[in-house]
Amino acid sequence: MISHSPHSCAHSTLPLPSAVASPSQRPLVSVILLNYNGQRFLVPCLESVLADSYWPKEILLVDNASSDGSMNLAWAYQDRITIVQNPRNYGFPKGCNQGIQVARGDVIVLLNVDTVVCEGWLEKLIEPLRRDASLAMTGSKLLFPDSNRIQFAGGVMEPNGLTHHVGYGLPDGEAFNQLKEVDYLTGASLAIRRDVLDRLGGLDEGFPLYFEDLDLSYRVRQAGYKILYQPESVVYHFETFGTKKHSARYYYKYHRGRMRFVLKHFGLRYFLKTFIPAEMEWYRRCHLRQQIAPLLLAYATQLPKALYFWLKGFARRRVRQERRGRQV
């Protein structure tokens, strides 16, 4: 069981939408849970989401071909949730996109299955979207289970694409209780307007593991919207899925995603004048012995794709310029 103490768990390329419903109207929210061999976590997660008082909501459980018996547990909830079963493990972005295709909500919420949400989590998460039409995405405060330690209180991206969770491992406190704009939100618990997500084309399935949430956050901000960390929406996160942290596989997958993100979103000039100096400074101040082999492998697999991404980015910029020219 999880102890919930000490927290009380009782320039735009897209047109800005109106706020999601009005303060007096409650939008339909689609909560998408992606499961892959999550037997240990599935029932506590589902029970906490079902117990949350926000209404109207629908819960979609997308299963990526689990083999651990977790779906035997899930079918007991079939009268209260929608189940989508994939024939194989599609990974996080494609698995979530499968659920998004089925979802009916005005707001899409992505939630990791290895979580337990506090009461009021969903109401607080989507509340800013209902008030402010310039907002497109909000994210929860994440805490480590059985503790008062921060796991995520907003995300920061460095010039070379390295990412940091604000407050990671620190005791929760007033510094982490401020509603604020951030560089990115984690896909462990976030809400996004359905119309914005559809226009952006969903999650990028080219990020099989890591950086898909940074990519989505960046695209939302590039489209002219704000993204917001909402500390009143509290989630306990086991942080168990993915690859074992600080292993060679973890570092390779992390740096592979990082390099793909940088190449996708930033051109040659940025790469030469900003990325490379920032990368060299990172080498200088960090001990990379554990990371050097996976880092070099990530360079080897991603740098050959640079020309493709840069030409594609150039074409996108030309299209945007032509559109602005026609509007003038």
**For residue 128, cis peptide bond before it (omega within 30 degrees of 0):** no
The mean pLDDT of the chain is 90
Q: Residue 169: give the domain boundaries.
A: 29-237
Helix (H, G, I), strand (E, B) or coil at 326: helix
Residue 198 CA to its chain's centroid (Å) = 16
User: Is 288 inside any structural domain?
Assistant: yes
CATH classification of the domain holding 127 = 3.90.550.10
Count of domains for the chain: 2
Give the C-alpha distances (Å, rounded to integers) separating 25 from 10, 28, 105, 127, 239: 23, 10, 14, 11, 34
Q: Are 184 and 217 in contact (CB under 8 A)?
A: yes
Residues 225 and 258 in one domain: no
Residues 196 and 120 in one domain: yes
Residues 112 and 189 in one domain: yes
Name residue 13's amino acid: T
Residues 34 and 74 in one domain: yes
* pLDDT above 50 for 13: no
Give the C-alpha distances (Å, rounded to integers) separating 15 from 12, 19, 233: 7, 12, 28
Residues 227 and 253 in one domain: no
Give the C-alpha distances (Å, rounded to integers) separating 144 from 2, 63, 68, 216, 232: 10, 24, 24, 24, 16
Q: Identify the residue whose tokens are 């020219």.
A: 325
* pLDDT digit string, tens, across residues 151-204: 999 999 999 999 999 999 999 999 999 999 999 999 999 999 999 999 999 999
User: Is 9 inside any structural domain?
Assistant: no
* pLDDT digit string, tens, across residues 201-215: 999 999 988 999 999
Residues 169 and 306 in one domain: no
Instruction: Tell which residue, 176, 116, 127, has the closest CA to residue 26.
Output: 127
When comparing pLDDT for 63 and 147, which is higher? 63
Report the distance separating Cα 230 and Cα 126, nearest Å. Answer: 9
Domain boundary among 188, 214, 237: 237
% of the chain beyond a pLDDT of 70: 90
Residues 139 and 182 in one domain: yes
User: Is 44 inside any structural domain?
Assistant: yes
User: Is 173 inside any structural domain?
Assistant: yes
User: Is 81 inside any structural domain?
Assistant: yes
Domain boundary among 189, 212, 237: 237
How long a stretch of residues is the chain? 328
* pLDDT digit string, tens, across residues 64-123: 999 999 999 999 999 999 999 999 999 999 999 999 999 999 999 999 999 999 999 999
Residues 286 and 212 in one domain: no
Three-class HEC string of 203-259 = CCCCCCCCCHHHHHHHHHHHCCCEEEEEEEEEEEECCCCCCCCCCHHHHHHHHHHHH
User: Is 21 inside any structural domain?
Assistant: no
Domain boundary among 183, 211, 237: 237
**For residue 56, cis peptide bond before it (omega within 30 degrees of 0):** yes
**H or E segment and range at residue 91:** helix 91-102
% of the chain beyond a pLDDT of 90: 81
User: Is 15 inside any structural domain?
Assistant: no
* pLDDT digit string, tens, across residues 59-76: 999 999 999 999 999 999
* pLDDT digit string, tens, across residues 239-256: 776 667 778 999 999 999
Residues 264 and 215 in one domain: no
Report the distance separating Cα 200 and Cα 193, nearest Å. Answer: 11
Residues 43 and 96 in one domain: yes
Residue 286 — pLDDT band, cuts 50, 70, 90?
confident
User: Is 242 inside any structural domain?
Assistant: no
Residues 71 and 189 in one domain: yes
pTM reported for the whole predicted model: 0.90
Residues 231 and 259 in one domain: no
